[in-house]
Chains A and B, each alone.
Chain A
């Protein structure tokens, strides 16, 4: 027998029967794979930041009435109203006088007649 013949036969046998891993080993490898697998695209979600109740209130309010543009308009109108109330411009008294004349109370302005008094409706 030559050494070459021995080796060729051995190599062929070894090639035909590769060492096979145990089923346990394959199960461990698969388990690792599934444990380290990234989540499927499309179901990933960004971590949600926890917000304070105060911030949440304004978030919800904003969403309810239409978002920040509405809030900005509301804030502008409020400031304008306060300003007009505190310091009414001259131009406003002209149409007011024209409409109601020289009046000192709401009853006069509405001209509800003699004897009428709002207080009579009070319980």
Chain B
């Protein structure tokens, strides 16, 4: 990232610099944290516009907490993950309140350049299948298999035990396999070795 000039600094140090008025730190934090929050929100919500809203809101909380941030007490990324997760849960709850059908809406069909790049048929199918999982299973599966985090770190982020993580990922993966079994054509696996 060409604009990320402070790549060797920790998130804690960047927050401190930001709180002391360093504009470069604001840029670096944006480039480092906002895409993470967005990706997490997108995986949980399945709609780009909503994911951007949630990620922007989560980042706003980063800016506001910066002056009070205590280095070493918690990881910035873990804190941000929880904030984003809570905001996503609120969104999903609101959706449930407005329309039961809205939960399983397909992913955002808006034809932006980024969407075209990222939305291959397989990824769409995976995202749609993820959206059919219960929220906690979805979170655990995304963190374990897509973010490729170790179970203890997932447990810390989700504030549950490692055993609970294992259970969630295992059930989530089974449910995903079941959902995707009948969608081989959409996945483009029809002609592959059985």
Which positions in A face B, CB cutoff 8 Å? 1, 3-4, 6-7, 10-11, 13-15, 17-22, 25-26, 28-30, 32-34, 36-41, 43
The closest CB in chain B to the CB of A39 belongs to B21
In the assembled complex, the CB of A80 is this many whole angstroms from the nearest CB of chain B, namely: 55
Q: Do the beta carbons of B56 and A30 come within 8 Å of each other?
A: no
Please name 18 pairs of A and B residues whose Cβ atoms are closer than 8 Å in the assembled complex, sorted by A: A1-B184, A4-B177, A6-B189, A7-B177, A10-B180, A11-B126, A13-B120, A19-B48, A20-B38, A20-B118, A26-B34, A32-B59, A32-B60, A33-B26, A33-B63, A37-B19, A37-B21, A43-B21
Which positions in B face A, CB cutoff 8 Å? 18-23, 26-27, 29-31, 34-35, 38-39, 42-43, 48, 51-52, 55-56, 59-60, 62-64, 66-67, 112, 114, 117-118, 120, 122-123, 125-126, 145-148, 173, 176-178, 180-181, 184, 187, 189, 192-194
Q: Do the beta carbons of B148 and A14 come within 8 Å of each other?
A: no
Partner of B114, one of A15, A22, A43: A22
The closest CB in chain B to the CB of A35 belongs to B63
Q: Do the beta carbons of A34 and B52 come within 8 Å of each other?
A: no
Q: Do the beta carbons of B173 and A7 come within 8 Å of each other?
A: yes
- Pick the most buried of B29, B125, B146, B148: most chain A CB atoms within 10 A of its CB: B146
Contacts of A41 in B (CB 8 A): 20-21
Contacts of A33 in B (CB 8 A): 18, 26, 29-30, 59, 62-63
Q: Do the beta carbons of B189 and A34 come within 8 Å of each other?
A: no
In the assembled complex, the CB of A29 is this many whole angstroms from the nearest CB of chain B, namely: 5
CA distance A43 to B20 in the complex (A): 11
CA distance A1 to B182 in the complex (A): 12
Q: Top 6 A-B pairs ranked by shortest CB distance?
A: A40-B21, A3-B177, A21-B38, A33-B26, A11-B145, A19-B42
Q: Main SS of chain B's interface residues?
A: helix
In the assembled complex, the CB of A45 is this many whole angstroms from the nearest CB of chain B, namely: 14
A17-B117, A19-B114, A38-B20 given. 6 additional CB < 8 A pairs? Answer: A1-B194, A6-B189, A15-B145, A21-B34, A29-B30, A38-B66
Partner of B35, one of A15, A17, A18, A36: A18
CA distance A106 to B181 in the complex (A): 125
Partner of A7, one of B21, B62, B145, B193: B145
Q: Do the beta carbons of B67 and A38 come within 8 Å of each other?
A: yes
